[in-house]
Structures are given as structure tokens and as C-alpha cells.
């Protein structure tokens, strides 16, 4: 199970799409902490923000390859667009 601490040192690094057409990588731009773990939530929630150039892709599960993490699957939602750059968000609870 991936945690907030797993992603913090990876900010600024590329994640290569494996399951989505196109060769443009996603860049992990921000790791945002949520509320700390509690009795009702056994781990700290967090969100990830990725940027990618190119047309937006609808929300879906992306298989991403990373040099340290290997291949992982993350549900990403497009949340903003600035010119050719699309921002995607993943929320972990």
C-alpha cells in the first residue's frame, strides 16, 4: 500500500504512461497531505497532482511506470488545463 511518504521524494519526477496512448510522461508536481491517520482512517490521506502536455484524457485508471516504484495503477482525474498542459489529480484515503 503506497503512502504519502512514498511519494514525497518523487515530486518533480516523471511517470511514464503504460496503459494510455501517447508518450508524454506525467510529472508529479505536488504531493499534498490530508488529515493524519486516526481510528476511523488507519493511514494518512493525501493527493497527488501530475502535469502532462497534450490533449486531456478522461478520468480513468492509468498504469504508470516509475524508476523506483515500478508499475503502479492510479485513478487520475483531469482537474485543470493551462494551454497545452493538463493537471491530473489522484486522491488516496
Kindly report the backbone phi and psi dihedral angles of residue 7, in degrees, each rounded to the nearest multiple of 5, phi listed first.
Answer: -90, -25
0.85 surpassed by pTM: yes
Domain that holds residue 11: 4-92
3-state secondary structure 4-47: HHHHHHHCCCEEEECCCCCCCCEEEEEEEECCCCCCCCCCCCEE
Per-residue pLDDT of 9-37, as tens digits, reads 999 999 999 977 667 899 999 999 988 77
Question: Domains in the chain: how many in total?
Answer: 1
Percent of the chain with pLDDT over 70: 97
How far is residue 4's CA from residue 1's CA, in Å, rounded to a whole number? 10
72 touches 61 (CB < 8 A): no
Amino acid at each position: 500500500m503506497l503512502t504519502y511518504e512514498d511519494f514525497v521524494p518523487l515530486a518533480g519526477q516523471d511517470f511514464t504512461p503504460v496503459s494510455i496512448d501517447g508518450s508524454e510522461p506525467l510529472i508529479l508536481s505536488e504531493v499534498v497531505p490530508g488529515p493524519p491517520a486516526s481510528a476511523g482512517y488507519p493511514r494518512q490521506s493525501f493527493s497527488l497532482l501530475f502535469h502532462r502536455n497534450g490533449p486531456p484524457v478522461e478520468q480513468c485508471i492509468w498504469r504508470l511506470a516509475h524508476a523506483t516504484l515500478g508499475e503502479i495503477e492510479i485513478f487520475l482525474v483531469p482537474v485543470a488545463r493551462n494551454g497545452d498542459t493538463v493537471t491530473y489529480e489522484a486522491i488516496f484515503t
